[in-house]
Amino acid sequence: MYETKQEKHEQPLVIKNATFITSAARSDQFITPNKPMIAVCGKSNVGKSSFINMLANRKKLAKTSSEPGRTRLVNYFDFGEFVLADLPGYGFARVSKTEKAKWAKTLDEFFKDKEKISHVFMLVDSRHDPTADDVQMLQFLNFHILPFTVVLTKSDKLSKMKLKEHLRAIAADLYLGERNLLATSSETGYGKDDVLRKISAVIRVAQDETLGVLDEETEG
Ligand SMILES: Nc1nc2c(ncn2[C@@H]2O[C@H](COP(=O)(O)OP(=O)(O)O)[C@@H](O)[C@H]2O)c(=O)[nH]1
Ligand SMILES: [Mg+2]
C-alpha cells in the first residue's frame, strides 16, 4: 500500500536462519561485514528488538524489554543476505548527560563510515507524534545523506482508520511523503512483507553498486 513503484514488483526477501553475531560497546568493536548492512534505530521501547525478531521469525533473537533504555550496545545479526545492526535506543529520560553524550558519540562513529551502511530503518511509534529526539535523528540521517525508511511500530494498537490518520500526520510532521513510511506490527506481522520487499530492493541496489552497474549507467 505504501511502497514505491519500483518495490511493488520486488519479491519479499525470504529469511531462513538469522543469528546473533556480536555486540559492540565502542567504535573499535564495530564490524565491517562483506555484505550489505542495514541499521535499525529509534527511541528505547519503540519496538526495535521486536521488529528484528519479527523479521527473523524468532521470538528471542533480540532481547525485548518493557524496562527501556538499558542497552548501550550495537548488536549485530547475520540475516544471510545482509547484516542487521541494532543501534542503542535514544530518548530515555532517566539517563545522565554523560550517558547521552556517550550515546551520541557511538552513533556518530557508527554512521561516520557510511559506505558500510546500505539502509536505515528508523522506527517511530505509530500511536504518538514523533518526539524531538525522533526529529533530531531524522535530521542526522538527512545531514549524512543516509538512505532510510521510517517504520511505524505497534500499529496493532490502532484501528485501521486511526492508523491511516496517524500515518498521514507523522509523515507531515517529518516532512516526508506517505510512501516513505511503512506501518508494521510485530505482534500481528502486519507490514512485514512490505519491509521484506524493501530489504530485497536495498540488497539489489547494493549488489548493483558492487558490480558497478550504477556507475556505468550514470557515466553513459
Ligand atoms: N502491541 C505491540 N507491542 C509491541 C510491538 N513491538 C514491541 N512491543 C512491546 O513494546 C515493548 C518494547 O519493545 P522492544 O522490542 O523491547 O523495544 P526496543 O527497546 O526498541 O528494543 C515490549 O514490551 C514489546 O512487547 C508491537 O508491534 N505491538
Ligand atoms: Mg531493544
Please name the helix (run of DSSP H) or strand (run of DSSP E) that holds residue 139, with its range, or none: helix 132-143
Q: What's the gap in Å between 175 CA and the centre of ligand 2?
A: 27
β-strands 148-153, 37-42 pairing = unpaired
Task: Look at residue 69 in the predicted model and tell me its pLDDT.
Answer: 52
* Residues of the chain under the 70 pLDDT cut: 1-7, 66-71, 92-94, 213-220
Q: State the distance from the centre of ligand 2 to the C-alpha of 59, rounded, in angstroms.
A: 13
Q: Measured between alpha carbons, how far is 200 from 191 in angstroms, rounded to an integer?
A: 15
Ligand 1 atom 23, closest CA:
66
Q: Which residues have a Cβ under 8 Å from the Cβ of 87 and sit 6 or more positions away?
A: 39, 40, 41, 48, 74, 107, 110
Q: How far is CA 49 from the centre of its chain?
A: 11
Instruction: Report the residue among 40, 48, 50 best suited for mutation to probe ligand 1: largest number of ligand atoms under 8 A from its CB.
Output: 50
Chain centroid offset of residue 58 CA: 18
Determine what percent of the chain falls in helix, strand and coil, rounding each to the nearest 5: 45, 20, 40
- For the record, the C-alpha cell of 79 comes out as 540475516
Residue ranges covered by each domain of the chain: 5-219
The SS3 of residue 186 is: coil
In this structure, what C-alpha cell is assigned to residue 65?
524489554
Write out the E strands in the chain: 19-24, 37-42, 74-78, 83-86, 117-125, 148-153, 181-183
Would you list the DSSP string of 31-62? ---SS-EEEEEEBTTSSHHHHHHHHHT-SSSS
**Atom 2 of ligand 1, residue of closest alpha carbon:** 154
- With beta carbons less than 8 A apart as the criterion, state whether 115 and 68 touch: no
Q: Cα–Cα–Cα angle for 131, 141, 75, nearest 5°? A: 85
Q: What is the pLDDT of residue 196?
A: 98
End-to-end CA distance of the chain: 34
For residue 185 and ligand 1, the question of a CB distance below 6 A is answered with: yes
Atom of ligand 1 nearest to the CA of 44: 19
Q: Cβ-count burial of 15 within 10 angstroms (0-12 exposed, 13-18 middle, 19+ buried)?
A: middle
What are the tens digits of pLDDT across the range 140-164? Answer: 999 999 999 999 999 999 999 999 9
What pLDDT score does 213 carry? Answer: 65
Instruction: Report the pLDDT value the prediction gives residue 217, as an integer from 0 to 100.
Output: 54
Looking at domain 5-219, its CATH class is alpha beta
